[in-house]
Amino acid sequence: MKEADFRDNESLELFKQSGGNILMTTIDAVIDWGRSNSIWPLTFATSCCGIEMMATGASRHDFARFGIEVYRASPRQADVIVVAGTVVNKMAPVLKRLYDQMSDPKYVIAMGACAVSGGPFFYNTYHVVRGVDHVIPVDVYVPGCPPRPEALLYGVMQLQRKIKLESMTNPRKTEELK
């Protein structure tokens, strides 16, 4: 992605045009820069996409360069949950509980066709949740079966762009799902 596109945020432009507080925008910029460049994920991999996620973390496509330095095993310490793999009916309450245990601000990347929409297991099966957004709100969808490591890195960059949009006067609301 070109750097010019990376920094191009329509919402930020609108905010600046509407005459937002200069002090707040500087603080926001610093906070958002810090948050987007050090997103630490939770170890959550259910099936095949987990292997591609591990390969993205390995030495060839290193995602520590993007700020994903370590994986945290405990949801209380993680920022993002990368749902890699199929989510089935039995696992859905577990996923919801993990998401609830994460502290704000928290983000979700749905990786792979199964997490986006049920994937190859869409027809004729009785136990698959068709898309993890039935359970938790998703920020970035990364399609593919499995997505290449480069695709996951692009997804992470999109998430970084989304984080840079946040500001203290317009905080991100995580919706309460019923």
Partner 1 sequence: MKEVIHLPVQNVEEEEYHINMGPQHPSTHGVLRLVVSLQGEIVKSLKPHCGYIHRGIEKMCEKDTYPQIIHLTDRMDYLSAHINNHAVCMLVEKALEVEVPERVKYIRTIVDELNRIASHQLWWCSFGMDMGGLTCFFYGLRDREKILDIFEESFGSRLLHSYYTPGGLMMDIHPDFQKNVKAFIKYFRKKIKDYDELLTGNIIMQLRTQGIGILSKEDAISYGVTGPSGRASGFACDVRKHHPYGVYDKADFKEILGTKGDTFERYMMRMDEMLESMKIIEQLIDNIPAGDHTAKMKAVLKLPAGEYFQRVEAARGELGVYVVSDGNKSPYRMKFRSPNFSNLSVLDHISRGCKIADLVAIGASLDYVIPDIDR
Partner 2 sequence: MDNAALKERILGLVPDAEYQENKQFLTFIIPPAKMHDLAFKLKSEADLAFDFLFCLSGVDMVKFLEVVYHLESTSHKHQLELKVRTEDRVNGAVDTVCDIWRTAEFHEREAFDLVGIRFNNHPDLRRIFLEEGWLGHPLRKDYVDEVNIVEL
Judged by beta carbon, residue 118 or residue 146, the one nearer partner 2 is 118
89 binds partner 2 (CB under 8 A): yes
**Residue 51 backbone dihedrals phi, psi, to 5 degrees:** -70, -40
Judged by beta carbon, residue 18 or residue 124, the one nearer partner 2 is 124
Distance CA 163, CA 94 (A): 26
134 binds partner 2 (CB under 8 A): no
Stretch that binds partner 2, among 15-23, 42-50, 105-113, 124-132 (CB under 8 A): 124-132
Q: Exactly one of 127, 145, 168, 177 binds partner 2 (CB under 8 A); which one?
A: 127
Judged by beta carbon, residue 39 or residue 132, the one nearer partner 2 is 132
125 binds partner 2 (CB under 8 A): yes
Q: Output the CA–CA distances (angstroms, integers) from residue 77 to 48, 156, 173, in the order listed.
A: 25, 19, 19
Sheet of strand 41-42, all strands in order from the earlier edge strand to the far edge: 41-42, 80-84, 107-111, 140-142
**Residue 130 backbone dihedrals phi, psi, to 5 degrees:** -80, 75
Which does residue 50 touch among partner 2, partner 1, none (CB within 5 to 8 A, set by kind)? partner 1
7 binds partner 2 (CB under 8 A): no
Two structure tokens written together for 33: 């820069």
Distance CA 126, CA 36 (A): 38
Judged by beta carbon, residue 74 or residue 125, the one nearer partner 2 is 125
Residue numbers at the binding site for partner 2 (CB under 8 A): 89-90, 122-128
